[in-house]
Amino acid sequence: MDKKLTTKEWKEERKRKKAQMVAMQRLPYEVKVKRAELRAIEFVEKLDDLGMSAHVSVGGLDSITLLLFLRKIGIDVPAISVTSLEDRSIQKVHKDLGIIPVKPGKTKVQIINEVGFPVISKKIAGRIDTLQHPTNKNETVRHAIITGECGEQGHFAKNSRMKLPQKWLELFAGYENENEGVNYQIAPFKVSNKCCKFLKEDPCDQWAKENHSAPFLGLMASEGGQREEALVEHGCNYFGKSVIRSAPFAPFMRQDLLQLALDLNVPVPEIYGEIARKADGTLYTTEAQRTGCSMCGFGIHMEKRPHRFDKLRERNEKEWEFWMYKCYTDPETGEKFGWGRVLDYIGVEWEDRYFDMDKHQIDIFDFIKV
């Protein structure tokens, strides 16, 4: 953030960049695909000038599509993945495509026990993490999280987006009760947004450093959250002091990505089902819409049942049981608990076995006692 900008100039610049991204998102599909090709070529050419190489960081369907898109336009660079974190069907596609496996920086259980549960969203989890770890240096930030009142770095904004939504303040902000004169709760577990950093980002960054390479990422601004903010701020290709990356699909909408996957005949991992088209022409995947680690809870409060943990139970009851009841050990009492306690606390149902009524035909006479 440029500190030389006045608050008014800073807001206008953010507004301009957002409008620019929206305009690009509204471009025709064919234009966006051609634009992605040009941004990818520009990225590789710039890296050549810097004496660097490129690679693709691969996870789920979006980045698998990116890898095949780059290969199609003649950019045949290595692809890496912390593949062991992905669903087995995704791992199979990774192996078939010759993707280089990278070892995760920590285990999933270590993440839960050492830094906390990844829940709600990356942005909100990061702010709760800050509240749970108060220091003299983050005092101003903590005040902004509670009140929305920012200091100099936040251009002295009032009612800013730094403030946690009231629902989450009520449940997680009790650490600041004495400082702020409020009466909020303290959650019986730690929360963190550092899971991806330790599991994926750090080991992939280390690989990139060792190979003097910068990544292509399958990110889209339409996914929202921190990804949207970063892509709006920095665009498709970014050459920063500490971060260099390309996200040629940044202006893509979900429909663009799925159409490109069809055009490229991308192998769709089984967890997604298949790409189908609704009566109105909208493309969708018949099973999972998004995938992630089996222990990830970001966005779970917004999912209708059967949610991701319901589906995990159907795929692997033993794994579900571990994550729900046993993945965390309290360092003081030795008590074991898991996601079940977290979901109960934020009001997400999970313990009753969920039946999808469209798939399970139940005879009314099953409920009648003769």
Question: Which of 97-106, 152-161, 286-295, 304-313 is least confident?
Answer: 152-161
**Across 144-148, 161-165, 212-216, which has the greatest mean pLDDT?**
212-216
Say if residue 267 is preceded by a cis peptide, omega within 30 of 0: no
CA–CA dist 320, 316 (Å, integer): 6
What is the pLDDT confidence band of residue 288, given thresholds at 50, 70 and 90?
Answer: confident
CA–CA dist 112, 103 (Å, integer): 18
CA–CA dist 362, 341 (Å, integer): 31
CA–CA dist 60, 72 (Å, integer): 19
Evaluate whether 269 touches 289 at the Cβ level (below 8 Å).
Answer: no
pLDDT per position as a tens digit, 262-286: 999 999 999 999 999 999 999 999 9
What is the pLDDT confidence band of residue 356, given thresholds at 50, 70 and 90?
Answer: low
3-state secondary structure of 215: strand
Please report which helix (H) or strand (E) contains residue 362, including its range.
none
Residue 33, strand partner residues:
none
Evaluate whether 101 touches 251 at the Cβ level (below 8 Å).
Answer: no
In the predicted model, what is the mean pLDDT of residues 92-109?
Answer: 94
pLDDT of residue 370: 35
pLDDT per position as a tens digit, 184-238: 999 999 999 998 899 999 999 999 999 999 999 999 999 887 788 889 999 999 9
In terms of phi and psi (left: phi > 0; alpha: psi -120 to 50; beta: otherwise), the region of 9 is alpha
**Does pLDDT of 258 surpass 90?**
yes
Average pLDDT in the chain? 90
pLDDT of residue 315: 84
Residues whose CB falls within 8 Å of the CB of residue 170, separated by 6 or more in sequence, listed in order? 184, 185
pLDDT of residue 355: 60
pLDDT of residue 3: 53
CA–CA dist 180, 146 (Å, integer): 8
Within a 10 A sphere around the Cβ of 116, how many other Cβ atoms?
Answer: 23
pLDDT of residue 13: 86
Within a 10 A sphere around the Cβ of 151, how many other Cβ atoms?
Answer: 13
Residue 235, amino acid = G
Evaluate whether 339 touches 295 at the Cβ level (below 8 Å).
Answer: yes
What is the pLDDT confidence band of residue 365, given thresholds at 50, 70 and 90?
Answer: very low
3-state secondary structure of 243: coil
Evaluate whether 221 touches 251 at the Cβ level (below 8 Å).
Answer: yes
**What is the residue whose two structure tokens read 């360092």?**
331
CA–CA dist 240, 9 (Å, integer): 22
Question: Which of 7-16, 167-176, 185-194 is least confident?
Answer: 7-16
DSSP, res 191? B
pLDDT of residue 60: 94
Structure tokens at 44: 């590789």
Strand 328-329 and strand 336-337: the pairing is antiparallel
In the chain, where does DSSP find H-type helix? Answer: 7-25, 29-50, 61-72, 88-96, 108-114, 122-132, 139-147, 166-172, 177-180, 195-196, 202-210, 225-234, 254-263, 308-315, 317-325, 339-346
Residues whose CB falls within 8 Å of the CB of residue 344, separated by 6 or more in sequence, listed in order? 350
Question: Which of 112-126, 152-166, 263-277, 331-345 is least confident?
Answer: 152-166
- Through-space distance between the first and last CA atoms of the chain, rounded to whole angstroms: 72
pLDDT of residue 157: 53
Evaluate whether 239 touches 209 at the Cβ level (below 8 Å).
Answer: no
**Does pLDDT of 336 surpass 60?**
yes
pLDDT per position as a tens digit, 23-46: 999 999 999 999 999 999 999 999
pLDDT of residue 24: 94
What is the pLDDT confidence band of residue 368, given thresholds at 50, 70 and 90?
Answer: very low
Strand 100-101 and strand 79-81: the pairing is parallel
In the chain, pLDDT over 90 holds for what percent of residues? 75
Structure tokens at 22: 């929206």
**What is the residue whose two structure tokens read 């912390």?**
82
What is the pLDDT confidence band of residue 289, given thresholds at 50, 70 and 90?
Answer: confident
